[in-house]
Amino acid sequence: MKTIKSAEKKTYKRDRELTESVMNIIDNVRENGDSALIEYARKFDNVDVDSIRVSEEEVRSAYDKVDSETLEAIRFAESQIRFFAEKQRECLKDLTVQSKVPGLELGHRMIPIERVGCYVPAGRHPLPSSALMGIVTAKVAGVKEVIACSPAFSGFGTIHPAVLVAMDIAGADEIYCTGGAQAVAAMAYGTESIKKVHLIAGPGNKFVTEAKRQVLGDVGIDSLAGPSEVLVLADKTANPTFVAIDLLAQAEHDPNAKPMLVCTDRETIDKSLAELERLLPTLETKDVAGKSWQDNGQVYLADDMDEAIAITNELAPEHLEVQADSEREIAARLHNYGSLFVGHYAPVAFGDFVSGTNHTLPTMETAKYSNGVWVGTFIKTGFHQFVSEEGCINLSKHCMRFAEVEGLYGHRDSVRLRVEK
């Protein structure tokens, strides 16, 4: 392997200042509730609101502010996400089975979490796709109450209309105009307006991520996400223009985004980098994309495809594209990624918006042991056993021995007294 370009800085840094800042926000929300959220809306979002709850009338009026083409795109994406989520849900089944021990029946149930909070970030542009990814998936899972939180968008005094429409189409039961660490605190602990949720899902900036870290345990979370990532795995058959634009497409997310290329052919690398330099000035997002590529871009020349696959599995990217010959065979050997895009015509953009797979995915190599948001994120599996008198007798000998070895004599006697009876 030869490193052609390495990252110049670490893309995610958690420091004492961030930790303490978020801790203070959480404490303020826990103590002062809605008034703290209104205060932070004024401080961080430059809006004055009397209530953080978005009314049905505000949601209805948002439809008039969204053009028909955007509305059509939102409805299309919602149907795609719902279709795939429903197919995932079909895979999750209750189980009841007769044990090999007579008189013992074992099983589990798929139980939807009762109340979930979906966070929808707002940066330089509105993110209706993030609203769909969280809310639709939770509703398909069977969650009874899904609330959505998002900060006010500049120029509107409330959540961006496209995001509000997406939240409504997705099926949000309650919508609140609040964002950042304060929104996470509100969902985790409740305020006068917001009833505490059981799990918080959705991406966000470093303040949101740190807040999710701090409330974990008092409430469940989907994951702790870092800056977005893409890795393009390529060989000599890859189109350099496709490689270049896909790296830039990821780079434009954020100055801390991480675009990576692993390729077995030096000529393809050189042509792709030349294309990247040609295409970068044409992007409206060139300042962000250029900064991300300069600081965080990585390029590796692998000796062969076996080494390229090994490098890729070690880097465990959030998004993984395969632009190579025999792409399906290669894909079968990849196992550390958040979402896989196979083929020369499969850019990450499809997964971000309309293919139907979720775009809230593991980053920072956590794909080695975790997955992105899916229907199962919002479902817990409860185990059960039905034990008859016969089953009690058949299990008793070995159970009582374990209890004695571990010094749990009440456990032993809870069985003994039943058997002696």
Query: By the 8 A CB rule, do 291 and 8 touch?
Result: no
Mean pLDDT per block of 10 residues along the chain (421 residues) reads 85 82 98 97 91 96 98 98 98 97 98 98 92 98 98 93 98 97 98 98 95 98 94 98 98 95 98 98 97 97 98 98 98 98 98 97 96 98 98 98 98 97 81
Q: Which of 210, 149, 158, 177 is nearest to 25 (CA)?
A: 210
Question: What global pTM score does this model have?
Answer: 0.94
Q: Is 352 labeled as ligand-binding?
A: yes
The CB density around residue 93, as the number of other CB atoms within 10 Å, is 9
Residue 8 pLDDT:
79
Query: Helices (DSSP H) in 335-378: which residue ranges?
Result: 348-353
Query: By the 8 A CB rule, do 93 and 110 touch?
Result: yes
Residue 12 pLDDT:
62
Rounded CA-CA distance 233/135 in Å is 32
Measured between alpha carbons, how far apart are the two ends of the chain, in Å? 71
Q: Is 414 labeled as ligand-binding?
A: no
Phi, then psi, of 226 in degrees rounded to 5: -105, -165
Query: Does 398 participate in catalysis according to the annotation?
Result: no
Query: Does 319 participate in catalysis according to the annotation?
Result: yes
* DSSP codes joined into one string, 215-254: HBTTBEES----S-EEEEEE-TTS-HHHHHHHHHHHHTT-
Residue 222 pLDDT:
96
Q: Is 411 labeled as ligand-binding?
A: yes
Q: Is 119 labeled as ligand-binding?
A: yes
Give, in order, the Cα–Cα distances in Å from 326 to each of 239, 240, 243, 299: 15, 18, 17, 22
Residue with tokens 């395969």: 322
CA of residue 197 relative to chain centroid, distance: 17
Residues 6+ apart with CB under 8 A from 367: 316, 317, 318, 336, 337, 338, 361
Q: Is 409 labeled as ligand-binding?
A: no
Tell me if residue 410 falls in helix, strand or coil: helix
Tell me if residue 31 falls in helix, strand or coil: helix
Residue 18 pLDDT:
95
CA of residue 80 relative to chain centroid, distance: 17
Active-site residue (options: 229, 319, 321, 327) = 319
In the chain, the domains with their CATH numbers are 16-221 (3.40.50.1980), 228-368 (3.40.50.1980), 388-420 (no CATH)
Q: How many CA atoms lie within 13 A of 278 on its CB side?
A: 12
Q: Is 359 labeled as ligand-binding?
A: no
Pairing status of strand 199-201 against strand 220-221: parallel
Name the token pair of 212: 């999710």
Active-site residue (options: 252, 275, 318, 327) = 318
Residue 11 pLDDT:
59
What's the DSSP call for residue 324?
A: S
Pairing status of strand 199-201 against strand 115-119: parallel
Residue 291 pLDDT:
96
Q: Is 182 labeled as ligand-binding?
A: yes
Name the token pair of 18: 């961030």
